[in-house]
Amino acid sequence: MKIGLEIHVQLPTRSKMFCSCPTTDADAPNTHVCPTCLGMPGSKPVLNKKVLEYGIKLAKMLGCTIADTTWFSRKTYFYPDMSKSVQITQYDNPIGYGGMYYLNGRTPIRITRIHLEEDPGKTKRVGELSSLIDYNRSGIPLAEIVTEPDLKTPAEAREFLGQLIQDIRHIIDLPGDGERSIRCDCNISMGIERCEVKNVTGLKNVERALTFEMVRQTKILKAGGKIDRETRRFDEERGVTISVRKKEFEADYGYIDEPDLGIYHVKELANSIKIKESPLNRSVRLSKEYGLDEKTAKQLIATSMELTDLFEEVAKATDVQTAKTWIAGVVSANWKAFECRCSEHLEQDSTRNGILEIICKYKAGEITDTECSLEIKAYMTGKDPESVQTESSDLDSIIGEFLIANPEIIEDYRKNDKAINKVIGYVMKRAGGTYSSTDVVCAAKKLLQEKI
């Protein structure tokens, strides 16, 4: 089985690709529009240079060759939501081509190309006879990433897409709902002919659509049938793909160079752009450098890049084991609260330094581990140390008593760390609401670790 993906990423510019209309959600249809994105006669596209920058960043992330000069093309086709019946896209020389992405840092997935293009408007069916068109989306910048058919299973495709999205979000600072702004065309072939499932949104749906196709195509082949080359769409509600059109004839878009825009010499720009380390590369590096297992590394990164920064800082200031114990423990448990409390300053090291100092004090033997834990918690949540201490000693004694009454749990925990759930369940039942779940988990873990 061969699976290739075409991934459309909405680039997070503030204005559209070729005009100054905003890209934010509009209150009403056709309010974020102007002569250019409506394709009015005489209007001209003016490229938002940010789009090139984002394109270069993604091309670098994907290990693509970046063209020294790049330009745009016109793709002609007739559809009501296309304001000019012409889409400005890249054809001859995309911003990047010939890249490689290593799934889990190991499995190579070849990247055919990445190109930049404008989104068309949106059509909405109203009843049987009419359609309404909203051009607010018309001209929103997209990057399209095309992979070679190197993915082998629907699950692998999902994993790939998940990692890719996380990396993309980090590299070009996609907003939190980044997954929504990513659409995917999935190509799948079990034999010779391939089918394309257009416009699938979300990781889960990509896997569902591909799995459905896998089963459908296998059945046909087993029965001695032939797969038709065609375009299909995914019905999210029913979980099935439906044929849209047979591809007996390939559409001819009659590409020409976009004459309203010039040629862009991007060599210097490309050289000047440095990209951040992608989350995937970082987790690979963390495993190598600190001997972290893959799962812990990914968890750290998934929680927050700043938490991962802190991990590295602590590891350098003390040692890897200390960093692991504290960062993966109490610091990680209180991270969300910490983020909420000082969201704006998190990127500044000074805020994080407080935690580093406390851990260093512990490492130097100035405070006990209980004190260290309390201080970190007090620092991160902004509560006063006294109440943190009372809370946690209360919590400790509740758990301690429970463990004394139920020693078999400790035995269980040795073999299966899920045994902790009994402790958590008990505390929540007895004193539900008084303590936050992260506190309970943290304290239970700590006491169980001490007992085994």
Nearest residue (CB) to other proteins, 41 versus 224: 41
Q: Minimal distance in Å, beta carbon 29 to other proteins?
A: 14
Nearest residue (CB) to other proteins, 49 versus 414: 49
Q: Minimal distance in Å, beta carbon 16 to Zn ion?
A: 5
Residue 312 CA to residue 315 CA, distance in Å, equals: 5
Residue 115 CA to residue 58 CA, distance in Å, equals: 10
Triad 105, 106, 110: Cα angle to 5°: 95
Residue with tokens 């929540």: 428
Return the one option of Zn ion, other proteins, none that residue 249 interacts with (CB less than 5 to 8 A, by type).
none
Q: Minimal distance in Å, beta carbon 86 to other proteins?
A: 5
Residues 100-139 that bind other proteins (CB under 8 A): 129-130
- Contact pattern for other proteins over residues 150 through 169, marking x by CB under 8 A: --------------------
Residue 194 CA to residue 369 CA, distance in Å, equals: 60
Q: Minimal distance in Å, beta carbon 231 to other proteins?
A: 16
262 binding other proteins? (CB under 8 A): yes
Q: Minimal distance in Å, beta carbon 43 to Zn ion?
A: 9
86 binding other proteins? (CB under 8 A): yes
Residues 48-77 that bind other proteins (CB under 8 A): 74, 76
Q: Minimal distance in Å, beta carbon 106 to other proteins?
A: 39
242 binding other proteins? (CB under 8 A): no
79 binding other proteins? (CB under 8 A): yes
Distance of CA 239 to the CA centre of its chain: 23
Q: Minimal distance in Å, beta carbon 211 to other proteins?
A: 34
263 binding other proteins? (CB under 8 A): no
Return the one option of Zn ion, other proteins, none that residue 287 interacts with (CB less than 5 to 8 A, by type).
none
Return the one option of Zn ion, other proteins, none that residue 37 interacts with (CB less than 5 to 8 A, by type).
Zn ion
Give 139's Cβ-side CA count (13 Å radius): 30
Nearest residue (CB) to other proteins, 229 versus 361: 229
Residue 449 CA to residue 118 CA, distance in Å, equals: 56
Tell me which residues touch Zn ion (CB under 5 A): 19, 21, 34, 36-37
Backbone angles phi, psi at 226, to 5 degrees: -120, 140
Name every residue whose Cβ is closer than 8 Å to that of residue 238 and which is 6 or more positions away in sequence. none
Residues 301-340 that bind other proteins (CB under 8 A): none
- Contact pattern for other proteins over residues 193 through 232, marking x by CB under 8 A: ----------------------------------------
Judge contact between 409 and 422, C-beta under 8 A: yes
367 binding other proteins? (CB under 8 A): no
Nearest residue (CB) to other proteins, 84 versus 115: 84
Residues that bind other proteins (CB under 8 A): 35, 38-47, 74, 76, 78-80, 83-86, 129-130, 250, 252, 254-257, 259-262
